Amino acid sequence: MHTIESAASGRSKCRGCNQAIAKDSLRFGERLPNPFADGEMTHWYHIDCAAFRRPHQFAEVINEYNGQLDTGRLTKVVEQGQQHERLERLCGAERAPSGRARCRACRQTIDRDHWRLALQYFEETGFNPAGYIHISCAGEYFGTALIMDRVRHFAASLSTEELTEIESSLNEQ
């Protein structure tokens, strides 16, 4: 059974964003069969990362923690993730360092220094890189262009100007 609990130490790492989970902060634990031995293993996530990256699993336990969590906001995030299955693949935004990557939606190259959205697939032991898409292909690929909350969360190193540029590109669709 999946769980939400306080982190006992600051040593665990979030599987959604690869950042440390602070001691005593709430975290989501997804219990999975251990592919390497008998028994189960637990993948830990920040609460927001779990809502964004594992919406179906997080939905199973969110209502048990009403009062400890902002369940209204998180429920909306989870519902959007459940309605648009590909949203859980979104893991950030960046400028293309070269012109070699191809968009997974339109199959055209992503020009150097143009914005691209990074994707990851979840496989049995975690998330694996899955390529990129153009910002202009986001609405078609994800089924919705309402992705800025996810971009802000997973591309926290971007400046306000860069986020505004991405948002205006999304609004042009």
DSSP string, 15-71: TTT-PBPPTTSEEEEEEEE-SSSSSEEEEEEEHHHHHHH-HHHHHTTGGGGBTTB-H
Cβ neighbours of residue 47 under 8 Å, at least 6 residues apart? 4, 26, 27, 28, 69, 74
Q: For the chain, report the end-to-end CA distance as a whole number of angstroms.
A: 41
Provide the 10 A C-beta neighbour count for residue 50. 30
Domain residue limits, the chain: 3-83, 85-171
Q: What is the Cα–Cα distance from 94 to 25, expressed in whole angstroms? A: 29
CATH topology of domain 85-171: first zn-finger domain of poly(adp-ribose) polymerase-1 (3.30.1740)
pLDDT at 157: 92
For Cα atoms 56, 57, 60, give the angle at the middle one, nearest 5 degrees.
95
Q: What is the residue type of 49? A: C
Cβ neighbours of residue 144 under 8 Å, at least 6 residues apart? 80, 83, 84, 87
pLDDT at 126: 83
pLDDT at 128: 93
DSSP string, 61-103: TGGGGBTTB-HHHHHHHHHHHHHSGGGGGEEEEEE-SSS--BB
Question: How large is the C-alpha radius of gyration of the chain?
Answer: 17
Q: What is the residue type of 3? A: T
Q: CATH number for the 3-83 domain, one of 3.40.50.1950, 3.30.70.600, 3.30.1740.10, 3.40.1390.10? A: 3.30.1740.10
10-residue averages of pLDDT along the chain (173 residues): 91 94 95 87 95 95 81 93 96 95 97 97 88 96 95 94 94 80
pLDDT at 33: 87
pLDDT at 34: 85
Token pair of 79, please? 């519902």
Please determine whether the domains at 3-83 and 85-171 fall in the same fold group of CATH: yes
Q: How many CA atoms lie within 13 A of 47 on its CB side?
A: 19
pLDDT at 68: 79
pLDDT at 96: 97
pLDDT at 63: 83
pLDDT at 86: 96
